[in-house]
Amino acid sequence: MGGGVVDSCNGLVLLNNSRNSGSGSEPRPSYVVCNPATEKWTTVPGSTHAGKICTASILCFDPTVSPNFHVVQLLDREFDEADEEEDWFTEENKFEGFNIYSSETGACVFHPHNSHWSPVAHRSRMTFFNGQLHFVTDDDGAVAALDKKGQTRRVIPVPRSGEVQLIGHSQGRLFYANRDARNASKLSIYVLGENGCLTLKHCVDTSGMFAGEEYLQSGLLGEVAAIHPHGDSIFLFDSLQGRLMSYGMGSRRGHVIRSVEESPLWSFVPYVPVYLEMAALENSK
């Protein structure tokens, strides 16, 4: 049916469709959206815009609002080596806009980017929350919220004290995590308040969980892989020993969930099953 997992949102899973039959020698890029709980699925077309390449995709679905879903693709301008040698070429002017598929209409619509910021094309730097897409901006200075027509609705300033780790949501609130620039073992977790500002929720020193000379030499102290969607926990990935760990912010305790072999950080996708029959998912196993 599909290939690797791209994203997950409120019980639906977005997969690369490796079995899509397109014309020509190369298959047309496309996806599968499925509900593992009901074993229903459907295919979704990919971008067909010449001169543009998809750098990331995100699934948008909220069953409390609508039985339909959207798939949003981030499209960059496709450059060749000659373009990169030109004076006008920069990383900032590569982003072209959003290609948005709606299961309600069955159509894709391209929305050109018309804001002063560009999104970071990394799964841990984007999330669908409260009916809007949230992206970390390319300068790591803010989180931008977009509607499903590609229009910027608000820009949320973020703390500039460290490296962005992840944005996500849990228990109806938007979360943001970063690592301290002066102390790499310190992780800070922020939550978006009713005033529209990020406030500090929790700090943890991960040096106790990732102790040993090999960590000091490698500089790897665990990365935030995900936030529990319904609990007060975060998930950390120990890439040096290949361990996925859970850390409770309330208990301040961590434990190993399982060993993971050769799994990159961005491959961790939180999933909570939803037993919902949807007309948009017409195929069955």
Total structural domains within the chain: 2
| Residues 204 and 111 grouped into a single domain | no
| Residues 171 and 105 grouped into a single domain | no
Confidence (pLDDT) at 132: 92
Of all residues in the chain, the percent with pLDDT exceeding 90 is: 35
| Residues 95 and 201 grouped into a single domain | no
Domain boundary among 117, 137, 167: 117
Domain of 209? 158-265
Domain boundary among 90, 117, 144: 117
R_g of the chain computed on alpha carbons: 20
Confidence (pLDDT) at 53: 86
Question: What Cα–Cα distance (Å) separates residue 209 from each residue in 51, 223, 262?
Answer: 46, 12, 20
Confidence (pLDDT) at 4: 84
Which sign, positive or negative, has the C-alpha torsion 257, 263, 268, 248?
positive
Q: How does pLDDT run across 3-14, given as a tens digit for each residue? A: 688 999 999 999
Asked whether the predicted pLDDT for residue 148 surpasses 90, the reply is no
Confidence (pLDDT) at 284: 63
Asked whether the predicted pLDDT for residue 211 surpasses 90, the reply is no
Q: How does pLDDT run across 37-78, given as a tens digit for each residue? A: 999 999 998 777 777 888 889 999 999 889 999 999 999 887
| Residues 96 and 176 grouped into a single domain | no
Region 133-159: mean pLDDT is 87
Asked whether the predicted pLDDT for residue 82 surpasses 60, the reply is no
| Residues 201 and 111 grouped into a single domain | no
| Residues 81 and 171 grouped into a single domain | no
User: Is residue 10, in this structure, part of any structural domain at all?
Assistant: yes
Confidence (pLDDT) at 261: 73
| Residues 253 and 176 grouped into a single domain | yes
| Residues 1 and 70 grouped into a single domain | yes
Q: How does pLDDT run across 266-284, given as a tens digit for each residue? A: 567 888 999 988 989 988 6
Confidence (pLDDT) at 200: 93
Asked whether the predicted pLDDT for residue 205 surpasses 50, the reply is yes
User: Is residue 191, in this structure, part of any structural domain at all?
Assistant: yes
User: Is residue 95, in this structure, part of any structural domain at all?
Assistant: yes
User: Is residue 273, in this structure, part of any structural domain at all?
Assistant: no
Work out the mean pLDDT of the chain and round it to a whole number: 81
Q: How does pLDDT run across 158-197, given as a tens digit for each residue? A: 887 677 778 999 999 999 998 887 877 788 999 999 898 9
Least confident residue range of 109-118, 228-237, 273-282: 109-118
User: Is residue 281, in this structure, part of any structural domain at all?
Assistant: no
**Residues facing 215 on adjacent strands:** none
Region 24-42: mean pLDDT is 79
Distance CA 68, CA 280 (A): 6
List the Cα angle 4/72/28 in 5-degree steps: 55
Q: What is the pTM of this model?
A: 0.84
Distance CA 123, CA 144 (A): 15
Distance CA 41, CA 278 (A): 9
Asked whether the predicted pLDDT for residue 104 surpasses 90, the reply is yes
Confidence (pLDDT) at 87: 53
User: Is residue 29, in this structure, part of any structural domain at all?
Assistant: yes
